[in-house]
Amino acid sequence: MAEKITQYLHETPASQAAYSEAKNLIPGGVQGNIKYYAPYPLSFRSAAGAWMTDVDGHKYVDYLLSFGALILGHGHPVVKQALTDVWETYGTSSFGVPYPLEAAMVKKVCSLVPSIEQVRFTNSGLEATLLAIRLGMAYTRRPGIAKFAGHYHGGHEHVLVSTHPVVTSDGPIAKTSESLALPDYYVEHTEVLPFDDIDRCEALLRQHREEVGVVVVEPFQSGYIPVDRDFMQRLRLITQELGMVLLFDEVKTGFRIRLGGAQAFYGVRPDLTALGKVLGGGFPVGAVGGRQEILELASPERNLPNHEVVFHSGTFNGNPVSLLAGLRTLEFLETPGVYETLLDTTRQLRENIEQISAHYGLPVQTVGEGTIFNVVFPSDEVGRMSKPSDVIAAEMSARHRTLRKDLDFLLMKHGVFSKPYNRFSMSTAHDDKALASTLDAFEQSFAALGKQQS
Protein backbone atom coordinates (compact mmCIF):
# COMPACT_ATOMS: atom_id res chain seq x y z
CA MET A 1 0.00 0.00 0.00
CA ALA A 2 2.89 2.37 0.70
CA GLU A 3 3.82 2.24 -2.99
CA LYS A 4 0.27 3.14 -4.02
CA ILE A 5 0.17 6.09 -1.61
CA THR A 6 3.54 7.31 -2.91
CA GLN A 7 2.17 7.16 -6.45
CA TYR A 8 -1.02 8.94 -5.32
CA LEU A 9 1.10 11.76 -3.85
CA HIS A 10 3.15 11.96 -7.03
CA GLU A 11 0.14 12.08 -9.39
CA THR A 12 -2.09 14.49 -7.45
CA PRO A 13 0.10 17.45 -6.39
CA ALA A 14 -2.64 20.01 -7.06
CA SER A 15 -5.07 18.11 -4.81
CA GLN A 16 -2.39 17.97 -2.14
CA ALA A 17 -1.80 21.73 -2.43
CA ALA A 18 -5.55 22.41 -2.31
CA TYR A 19 -5.88 20.30 0.82
CA SER A 20 -2.90 21.97 2.49
CA GLU A 21 -4.58 25.34 2.00
CA ALA A 22 -8.05 24.11 2.95
CA LYS A 23 -7.07 22.50 6.26
CA ASN A 24 -5.84 25.89 7.51
CA LEU A 25 -9.24 27.41 6.75
CA ILE A 26 -11.63 24.49 7.27
CA PRO A 27 -11.52 21.96 10.15
CA GLY A 28 -9.80 18.91 8.70
CA GLY A 29 -9.94 20.52 5.27
CA VAL A 30 -13.43 19.13 4.57
CA GLN A 31 -17.03 20.29 4.93
CA GLY A 32 -18.09 17.08 6.65
CA ASN A 33 -16.03 14.39 8.38
CA ILE A 34 -17.14 11.59 6.05
CA LYS A 35 -15.59 13.48 3.10
CA TYR A 36 -12.06 12.96 4.44
CA TYR A 37 -9.71 10.09 3.67
CA ALA A 38 -5.96 9.77 4.13
CA PRO A 39 -3.53 11.01 3.04
CA TYR A 40 -5.87 13.71 1.65
CA PRO A 41 -9.03 13.72 -0.45
CA LEU A 42 -8.93 14.52 -4.13
CA SER A 43 -10.11 18.01 -5.05
CA PHE A 44 -12.31 18.31 -8.15
CA ARG A 45 -12.79 21.19 -10.56
CA SER A 46 -15.62 20.03 -12.87
CA ALA A 47 -18.10 17.29 -13.69
CA ALA A 48 -20.35 16.24 -16.56
CA GLY A 49 -22.61 13.23 -16.91
CA ALA A 50 -20.92 10.23 -15.28
CA TRP A 51 -17.50 11.90 -15.17
CA MET A 52 -15.54 14.17 -12.83
CA THR A 53 -12.21 15.91 -13.40
CA ASP A 54 -9.85 16.66 -10.53
CA VAL A 55 -7.67 19.74 -10.15
CA ASP A 56 -4.70 17.81 -11.58
CA GLY A 57 -6.65 17.16 -14.79
CA HIS A 58 -7.36 13.45 -14.22
CA LYS A 59 -10.80 12.18 -15.34
CA TYR A 60 -12.81 9.63 -13.36
CA VAL A 61 -16.02 7.73 -13.83
CA ASP A 62 -17.95 8.90 -10.77
CA TYR A 63 -19.73 6.38 -8.57
CA LEU A 64 -19.91 8.58 -5.49
CA LEU A 65 -22.43 10.86 -7.26
CA SER A 66 -22.59 13.27 -4.32
CA PHE A 67 -23.17 10.31 -1.99
CA GLY A 68 -25.94 8.99 -4.22
CA ALA A 69 -27.93 12.18 -4.77
CA LEU A 70 -27.26 12.45 -8.53
CA ILE A 71 -29.26 9.58 -9.98
CA LEU A 72 -29.26 11.34 -13.39
CA GLY A 73 -25.56 12.14 -13.19
CA HIS A 74 -23.95 15.59 -13.29
CA GLY A 75 -25.73 18.36 -15.17
CA HIS A 76 -28.53 16.35 -16.74
CA PRO A 77 -30.55 18.36 -19.30
CA VAL A 78 -33.85 18.00 -17.41
CA VAL A 79 -32.23 19.41 -14.27
CA LYS A 80 -30.63 22.27 -16.22
CA GLN A 81 -34.00 23.06 -17.78
CA ALA A 82 -35.61 23.00 -14.36
CA LEU A 83 -33.23 25.72 -13.21
CA THR A 84 -34.09 27.84 -16.23
CA ASP A 85 -37.80 27.26 -15.61
CA VAL A 86 -37.48 28.33 -11.98
CA TRP A 87 -36.36 31.80 -13.03
CA GLU A 88 -38.79 32.07 -15.95
CA THR A 89 -41.79 30.74 -14.04
CA TYR A 90 -41.24 31.93 -10.50
CA GLY A 91 -38.62 34.65 -10.78
CA THR A 92 -37.06 33.73 -7.46
CA SER A 93 -35.07 30.98 -5.78
CA SER A 94 -37.04 31.20 -2.55
CA PHE A 95 -40.51 32.51 -1.72
CA GLY A 96 -40.47 31.80 2.00
CA VAL A 97 -44.27 31.48 1.67
CA PRO A 98 -46.61 28.85 0.15
CA TYR A 99 -46.79 28.37 -3.61
CA PRO A 100 -48.37 25.65 -5.84
CA LEU A 101 -45.22 23.63 -6.62
CA GLU A 102 -45.12 22.41 -3.01
CA ALA A 103 -48.40 20.53 -3.39
CA ALA A 104 -47.44 19.25 -6.84
CA MET A 105 -44.25 17.70 -5.47
CA VAL A 106 -46.11 16.17 -2.52
CA LYS A 107 -48.61 14.56 -4.92
CA LYS A 108 -45.74 13.04 -6.89
CA VAL A 109 -44.09 11.63 -3.75
CA CYS A 110 -47.41 10.20 -2.53
CA SER A 111 -48.03 8.57 -5.91
CA LEU A 112 -44.67 6.79 -5.76
CA VAL A 113 -44.61 5.89 -2.05
CA PRO A 114 -48.04 4.59 -0.96
CA SER A 115 -47.33 4.81 2.79
CA ILE A 116 -47.03 8.61 2.52
CA GLU A 117 -50.21 10.65 2.99
CA GLN A 118 -48.74 14.04 3.91
CA VAL A 119 -45.28 15.63 3.61
CA ARG A 120 -43.22 18.32 5.27
CA PHE A 121 -40.08 19.39 3.39
CA THR A 122 -36.73 20.08 5.02
CA ASN A 123 -33.31 21.01 3.64
CA SER A 124 -31.41 17.79 4.34
CA GLY A 125 -31.83 14.17 5.27
CA LEU A 126 -30.49 15.00 8.72
CA GLU A 127 -33.30 17.51 9.26
CA ALA A 128 -35.79 14.95 7.96
CA THR A 129 -34.84 12.27 10.49
CA LEU A 130 -34.75 14.86 13.27
CA LEU A 131 -38.29 16.03 12.49
CA ALA A 132 -39.58 12.49 11.97
CA ILE A 133 -38.29 11.38 15.36
CA ARG A 134 -39.81 14.45 17.01
CA LEU A 135 -43.17 13.70 15.37
CA GLY A 136 -43.04 10.03 16.36
CA MET A 137 -42.20 10.79 19.98
CA ALA A 138 -44.96 13.40 20.12
CA TYR A 139 -47.45 10.89 18.74
CA THR A 140 -46.55 8.12 21.19
CA ARG A 141 -45.75 10.44 24.14
CA ARG A 142 -42.76 8.24 24.98
CA PRO A 143 -39.28 9.63 25.77
CA GLY A 144 -36.97 7.25 23.91
CA ILE A 145 -36.16 5.69 20.55
CA ALA A 146 -34.68 2.46 19.31
CA LYS A 147 -32.17 2.29 16.47
CA PHE A 148 -30.02 -0.43 14.96
CA ALA A 149 -26.31 -0.95 15.53
CA GLY A 150 -24.33 0.47 12.63
CA HIS A 151 -27.17 2.54 11.19
CA TYR A 152 -26.55 6.22 10.48
CA HIS A 153 -29.37 8.76 10.47
CA GLY A 154 -27.56 12.08 10.32
CA GLY A 155 -25.48 14.11 12.72
CA HIS A 156 -28.01 15.07 15.40
CA GLU A 157 -27.96 14.04 19.03
CA HIS A 158 -30.71 11.45 19.16
CA VAL A 159 -29.11 9.19 16.57
CA LEU A 160 -25.36 9.63 17.12
CA VAL A 161 -25.34 6.42 19.12
CA SER A 162 -23.68 3.17 17.99
CA THR A 163 -23.38 4.26 14.36
CA HIS A 164 -20.39 2.04 13.63
CA PRO A 165 -21.15 -1.54 12.58
CA VAL A 166 -20.81 -4.27 15.15
CA VAL A 167 -21.14 -8.04 14.93
CA THR A 168 -23.42 -9.10 17.74
CA SER A 169 -24.08 -12.28 19.65
CA ASP A 170 -26.64 -13.01 22.36
CA GLY A 171 -26.84 -10.30 24.97
CA PRO A 172 -27.11 -6.54 25.03
CA ILE A 173 -25.36 -4.41 22.40
CA ALA A 174 -22.93 -1.85 23.78
CA LYS A 175 -24.21 1.69 23.40
CA THR A 176 -21.52 4.09 22.27
CA SER A 177 -21.51 7.85 21.91
CA GLU A 178 -20.30 8.89 18.45
CA SER A 179 -19.42 12.52 19.16
CA LEU A 180 -17.70 14.72 21.65
CA ALA A 181 -20.20 16.65 23.79
CA LEU A 182 -23.12 14.30 23.10
CA PRO A 183 -25.35 14.65 26.19
CA ASP A 184 -25.76 11.48 28.24
CA TYR A 185 -29.54 11.86 27.95
CA TYR A 186 -29.53 10.73 24.33
CA VAL A 187 -27.42 7.64 24.95
CA GLU A 188 -29.58 6.73 27.94
CA HIS A 189 -32.82 7.14 25.96
CA THR A 190 -31.69 5.20 22.89
CA GLU A 191 -31.97 1.43 22.73
CA VAL A 192 -29.70 -0.33 20.24
CA LEU A 193 -30.96 -3.34 18.27
CA PRO A 194 -29.31 -6.05 16.11
CA PHE A 195 -30.18 -5.81 12.42
CA ASP A 196 -30.59 -9.49 11.54
CA ASP A 197 -32.00 -11.09 14.70
CA ILE A 198 -35.71 -10.31 14.93
CA ASP A 199 -36.21 -12.45 18.03
CA ARG A 200 -33.68 -10.37 20.00
CA CYS A 201 -35.20 -7.20 18.59
CA GLU A 202 -38.64 -8.25 19.75
CA ALA A 203 -37.37 -9.12 23.23
CA LEU A 204 -35.61 -5.75 23.60
CA LEU A 205 -38.60 -3.80 22.32
CA ARG A 206 -40.98 -5.62 24.65
CA GLN A 207 -38.60 -4.98 27.54
CA HIS A 208 -38.60 -1.23 26.79
CA ARG A 209 -42.15 -0.85 25.53
CA GLU A 210 -42.95 1.95 27.96
CA GLU A 211 -39.96 4.06 26.92
CA VAL A 212 -39.51 3.51 23.18
CA GLY A 213 -41.78 5.62 21.03
CA VAL A 214 -39.98 5.42 17.68
CA VAL A 215 -38.06 2.61 15.99
CA VAL A 216 -35.86 4.10 13.28
CA VAL A 217 -34.18 1.85 10.73
CA GLU A 218 -32.17 2.07 7.55
CA PRO A 219 -34.08 -0.58 5.58
CA PHE A 220 -30.76 -1.32 3.86
CA GLN A 221 -27.88 -0.78 6.27
CA SER A 222 -25.55 1.87 4.84
CA GLY A 223 -27.85 1.94 1.82
CA TYR A 224 -26.77 -1.43 0.41
CA ILE A 225 -26.94 -4.22 3.04
CA PRO A 226 -30.41 -5.85 2.93
CA VAL A 227 -32.12 -7.91 5.58
CA ASP A 228 -34.63 -10.72 5.06
CA ARG A 229 -38.11 -9.59 4.10
CA ASP A 230 -39.44 -11.66 6.99
CA PHE A 231 -37.35 -9.58 9.41
CA MET A 232 -38.79 -6.30 8.16
CA GLN A 233 -42.35 -7.59 8.01
CA ARG A 234 -42.15 -8.93 11.57
CA LEU A 235 -40.64 -5.65 12.75
CA ARG A 236 -43.69 -3.90 11.29
CA LEU A 237 -46.05 -6.23 13.17
CA ILE A 238 -44.15 -5.91 16.45
CA THR A 239 -44.05 -2.11 16.37
CA GLN A 240 -47.77 -2.00 15.57
CA GLU A 241 -48.59 -4.27 18.49
CA LEU A 242 -46.42 -2.26 20.90
CA GLY A 243 -47.75 1.10 19.74
CA MET A 244 -44.37 2.27 18.41
CA VAL A 245 -43.91 4.44 15.34
CA LEU A 246 -41.86 2.68 12.67
CA LEU A 247 -39.65 5.18 10.84
CA PHE A 248 -37.91 4.18 7.62
CA ASP A 249 -34.84 6.31 6.96
CA GLU A 250 -34.87 6.20 3.16
CA VAL A 251 -32.54 9.14 2.65
CA LYS A 252 -30.10 6.81 0.86
CA THR A 253 -32.54 4.23 -0.50
CA GLY A 254 -35.44 6.46 -1.55
CA PHE A 255 -36.07 6.06 -5.33
CA ARG A 256 -32.85 4.01 -5.61
CA ILE A 257 -33.90 0.50 -4.57
CA ARG A 258 -37.23 0.87 -6.33
CA LEU A 259 -39.11 4.01 -7.35
CA GLY A 260 -41.25 3.31 -4.29
CA GLY A 261 -38.17 2.97 -2.11
CA ALA A 262 -36.95 0.08 0.00
CA GLN A 263 -40.42 -0.21 1.50
CA ALA A 264 -41.69 -1.27 -1.93
CA PHE A 265 -38.95 -3.93 -2.03
CA TYR A 266 -39.94 -5.31 1.38
CA GLY A 267 -43.69 -4.86 1.00
CA VAL A 268 -43.88 -2.90 4.27
CA ARG A 269 -45.72 0.34 5.07
CA PRO A 270 -43.86 2.29 7.77
CA ASP A 271 -45.64 5.00 9.75
CA LEU A 272 -43.09 7.64 8.75
CA THR A 273 -40.47 7.92 6.02
CA ALA A 274 -37.47 10.24 5.84
CA LEU A 275 -36.31 11.16 2.34
CA GLY A 276 -33.48 13.20 0.85
CA LYS A 277 -30.69 12.97 -1.76
CA VAL A 278 -32.42 11.88 -5.03
CA LEU A 279 -35.55 13.83 -4.03
CA GLY A 280 -33.78 17.15 -4.70
CA GLY A 281 -32.37 16.37 -8.14
CA GLY A 282 -28.91 17.38 -6.90
CA PHE A 283 -30.00 20.26 -4.67
CA PRO A 284 -30.40 20.36 -0.87
CA VAL A 285 -33.60 18.69 0.24
CA GLY A 286 -35.20 16.45 2.79
CA ALA A 287 -38.74 15.37 3.51
CA VAL A 288 -40.79 13.63 6.16
CA GLY A 289 -43.82 11.76 4.88
CA GLY A 290 -46.25 9.38 6.46
CA ARG A 291 -49.58 8.96 8.14
CA GLN A 292 -51.72 12.07 8.21
CA GLU A 293 -52.62 11.74 11.88
CA ILE A 294 -48.92 11.90 12.80
CA LEU A 295 -47.95 14.70 10.38
CA GLU A 296 -50.91 16.78 11.56
CA LEU A 297 -49.24 17.13 14.95
CA ALA A 298 -47.13 19.84 13.28
CA SER A 299 -50.14 21.74 11.93
CA PRO A 300 -50.52 25.31 13.21
CA GLU A 301 -54.28 24.94 12.64
CA ARG A 302 -54.54 22.77 15.74
CA ASN A 303 -55.01 25.99 17.75
CA LEU A 304 -53.23 24.62 20.81
CA PRO A 305 -50.53 26.05 23.06
CA ASN A 306 -47.05 25.90 21.52
CA HIS A 307 -45.95 23.04 23.74
CA GLU A 308 -48.76 20.90 22.31
CA VAL A 309 -47.76 21.46 18.66
CA VAL A 310 -44.67 19.90 17.06
CA PHE A 311 -42.54 22.83 15.97
CA HIS A 312 -41.03 22.72 12.52
CA SER A 313 -39.86 25.52 10.29
CA GLY A 314 -37.08 26.50 7.89
CA THR A 315 -36.56 29.45 5.59
CA PHE A 316 -35.65 27.35 2.54
CA ASN A 317 -38.01 24.41 3.12
CA GLY A 318 -39.63 23.52 -0.19
CA ASN A 319 -37.74 26.10 -2.21
CA PRO A 320 -38.44 26.18 -5.98
CA VAL A 321 -34.92 25.16 -7.05
CA SER A 322 -34.86 21.93 -5.05
CA LEU A 323 -38.48 21.01 -5.69
CA LEU A 324 -38.56 21.60 -9.43
CA ALA A 325 -35.21 19.88 -9.99
CA GLY A 326 -36.44 16.98 -7.88
CA LEU A 327 -39.84 16.80 -9.55
CA ARG A 328 -38.30 16.75 -13.02
CA THR A 329 -35.86 14.05 -11.89
CA LEU A 330 -38.66 11.82 -10.62
CA GLU A 331 -40.70 12.40 -13.76
CA PHE A 332 -37.72 11.45 -15.91
CA LEU A 333 -37.22 8.24 -13.91
CA GLU A 334 -40.87 7.39 -14.58
CA THR A 335 -40.32 7.58 -18.34
CA PRO A 336 -41.05 4.07 -19.71
CA GLY A 337 -37.87 2.01 -19.82
CA VAL A 338 -35.60 4.47 -18.01
CA TYR A 339 -35.64 2.95 -14.53
CA GLU A 340 -35.76 -0.62 -15.82
CA THR A 341 -32.67 0.07 -17.94
CA LEU A 342 -30.87 1.58 -14.97
CA LEU A 343 -31.61 -1.49 -12.85
CA ASP A 344 -30.45 -3.81 -15.62
CA THR A 345 -27.25 -1.81 -16.18
CA THR A 346 -26.46 -2.02 -12.48
CA ARG A 347 -26.99 -5.79 -12.43
CA GLN A 348 -24.74 -6.28 -15.45
CA LEU A 349 -21.98 -4.13 -13.97
CA ARG A 350 -22.08 -6.07 -10.72
CA GLU A 351 -21.92 -9.41 -12.52
CA ASN A 352 -18.97 -8.27 -14.61
CA ILE A 353 -17.07 -7.02 -11.55
CA GLU A 354 -17.52 -10.38 -9.83
CA GLN A 355 -16.44 -12.29 -12.95
CA ILE A 356 -13.29 -10.21 -13.38
CA SER A 357 -12.31 -10.59 -9.73
CA ALA A 358 -12.78 -14.36 -9.87
CA HIS A 359 -10.57 -14.53 -12.96
CA TYR A 360 -7.71 -13.04 -10.98
CA GLY A 361 -8.25 -15.27 -7.95
CA LEU A 362 -9.79 -12.48 -5.84
CA PRO A 363 -13.47 -13.36 -5.69
CA VAL A 364 -15.52 -10.46 -4.39
CA GLN A 365 -19.21 -10.17 -3.74
CA THR A 366 -21.14 -7.11 -4.82
CA VAL A 367 -23.73 -6.46 -2.12
CA GLY A 368 -26.79 -4.34 -2.74
CA GLU A 369 -30.09 -3.95 -4.53
CA GLY A 370 -31.51 -1.61 -7.12
CA THR A 371 -29.04 1.10 -8.11
CA ILE A 372 -26.71 0.87 -5.08
CA PHE A 373 -24.05 -1.73 -4.31
CA ASN A 374 -20.71 -2.18 -2.66
CA VAL A 375 -17.69 -4.36 -3.32
CA VAL A 376 -16.84 -6.67 -0.43
CA PHE A 377 -14.09 -9.24 -0.01
CA PRO A 378 -15.75 -12.13 1.89
CA SER A 379 -13.80 -13.84 4.62
CA ASP A 380 -12.64 -17.36 3.89
CA GLU A 381 -14.78 -18.70 6.75
CA VAL A 382 -18.04 -17.21 5.49
CA GLY A 383 -17.78 -17.57 1.73
CA ARG A 384 -20.90 -16.25 -0.01
CA MET A 385 -22.54 -13.71 2.31
CA SER A 386 -26.26 -14.03 2.91
CA LYS A 387 -26.94 -12.07 6.13
CA PRO A 388 -26.13 -8.53 7.29
CA SER A 389 -23.86 -9.96 9.99
CA ASP A 390 -21.88 -11.82 7.29
CA VAL A 391 -21.29 -8.60 5.36
CA ILE A 392 -20.43 -6.62 8.47
CA ALA A 393 -18.01 -9.27 9.70
CA ALA A 394 -16.31 -9.33 6.29
CA GLU A 395 -16.07 -5.53 6.13
CA MET A 396 -14.57 -5.37 9.60
CA SER A 397 -11.92 -7.99 8.80
CA ALA A 398 -8.32 -6.96 8.24
CA ARG A 399 -8.37 -8.81 4.90
CA HIS A 400 -11.22 -6.75 3.52
CA ARG A 401 -9.90 -3.45 4.89
CA THR A 402 -6.49 -4.02 3.32
CA LEU A 403 -7.71 -5.31 -0.04
CA ARG A 404 -10.50 -2.75 -0.34
CA LYS A 405 -8.17 0.17 0.39
CA ASP A 406 -5.70 -1.13 -2.18
CA LEU A 407 -8.52 -1.60 -4.68
CA ASP A 408 -9.90 1.91 -4.15
CA PHE A 409 -6.54 3.58 -4.74
CA LEU A 410 -5.91 1.38 -7.79
CA LEU A 411 -9.33 2.31 -9.16
CA MET A 412 -8.57 6.00 -8.69
CA LYS A 413 -5.26 5.48 -10.51
CA HIS A 414 -7.15 3.91 -13.41
CA GLY A 415 -9.95 6.47 -13.52
CA VAL A 416 -12.81 5.29 -11.27
CA PHE A 417 -13.88 7.22 -8.18
CA SER A 418 -16.17 6.28 -5.33
CA LYS A 419 -14.21 7.51 -2.25
CA PRO A 420 -12.33 4.77 -0.38
CA TYR A 421 -14.61 2.16 1.26
CA ASN A 422 -17.74 3.91 0.02
CA ARG A 423 -20.70 2.30 -1.73
CA PHE A 424 -21.18 2.63 -5.49
CA SER A 425 -24.21 4.54 -6.79
CA MET A 426 -25.36 4.30 -10.40
CA SER A 427 -26.89 6.94 -12.62
CA THR A 428 -28.65 7.09 -15.95
CA ALA A 429 -25.53 8.89 -17.25
CA HIS A 430 -23.40 5.74 -16.93
CA ASP A 431 -23.41 4.93 -20.63
CA ASP A 432 -21.44 2.32 -22.59
CA LYS A 433 -18.27 4.44 -22.62
CA ALA A 434 -18.37 4.99 -18.85
CA LEU A 435 -19.06 1.30 -18.19
CA ALA A 436 -16.27 0.16 -20.52
CA SER A 437 -13.83 2.47 -18.74
CA THR A 438 -15.07 1.18 -15.40
CA LEU A 439 -14.56 -2.47 -16.30
CA ASP A 440 -11.13 -1.73 -17.74
CA ALA A 441 -10.18 -0.06 -14.46
CA PHE A 442 -11.43 -3.04 -12.46
CA GLU A 443 -9.54 -5.39 -14.80
CA GLN A 444 -6.26 -3.56 -14.26
CA SER A 445 -6.87 -3.17 -10.53
CA PHE A 446 -7.76 -6.80 -9.87
CA ALA A 447 -4.80 -7.91 -11.98
CA ALA A 448 -2.46 -5.82 -9.81
CA LEU A 449 -4.09 -7.11 -6.61
CA GLY A 450 -3.80 -10.69 -7.86
CA LYS A 451 -0.07 -10.29 -8.44
CA GLN A 452 0.25 -8.67 -5.03
CA GLN A 453 -1.42 -11.68 -3.36
CA SER A 454 0.53 -14.37 -5.24
Domain co-membership, 9 together with 140: no
Domain co-membership, 247 together with 306: yes
Amino acid identity, position 45: R
Q: What is the CATH number of the domain that holds 6?
A: 3.90.1150.10
Dist. CA 372–CA 63, nearest whole Å: 10
Dist. CA 339–CA 26, nearest whole Å: 39
Give the pLDDT of the chain (454 residues) as one tens digit per residue: 678 889 999 999 999 999 999 999 999 999 999 999 999 999 999 999 999 999 999 999 999 999 999 999 999 999 999 999 999 999 999 999 999 999 999 999 999 999 999 999 999 999 999 999 999 999 999 999 999 999 999 999 999 999 987 766 666 688 899 999 999 999 999 999 999 899 999 999 999 999 999 999 999 999 999 999 999 999 999 999 999 999 999 999 999 999 999 999 999 999 999 999 999 999 999 999 999 999 999 999 988 888 899 999 999 999 999 999 999 999 999 999 999 999 999 999 999 999 999 999 998 999 999 999 999 998 765 567 878 988 988 898 899 999 999 999 999 999 999 999 999 999 999 999 999 999 999 999 999 998 887 6
The CB density around residue 33, as the number of other CB atoms within 10 Å, is: 10
* Residue at which a domain ends, from 308, 333, 358: 333
For the chain, what is the domain count? 2
- DSSP for 194-249 reads -TT-HHHHHHHHHHTTTTEEEEEE-SSBTTTB---HHHHHHHHHHHHHTTPEEEEE
Pairing of strands 59-62, 51-54: antiparallel
Name the catalytic one among 147, 252, 277, 413: 277
320-333 vs 101-112: helix crossing angle, rounded to 10: 30
* Residue at which a domain ends, from 333, 349, 374: 333
Domain span holding position 311: 77-333
Contact present, 253 and 217 (Cβ < 8 Å): no
Domain co-membership, 412 together with 326: no
Name the catalytic one among 196, 249, 271, 408: 249
Q: What is the CATH number of the domain that holds 133?
A: 3.40.640.10
Domain co-membership, 148 together with 288: yes
Domain co-membership, 320 together with 347: no
Dist. CA 411–CA 419, nearest whole Å: 10
Domain co-membership, 118 together with 55: no
Domain co-membership, 168 together with 58: no
Domain co-membership, 112 together with 33: no
The CB density around residue 453, as the number of other CB atoms within 10 Å, is: 11
pTM over 0.85: yes
* Residue at which a domain ends, from 333, 353, 384: 333
Domain co-membership, 329 together with 345: no
Residue 277 is among the residues annotated as catalytic for this protein: yes
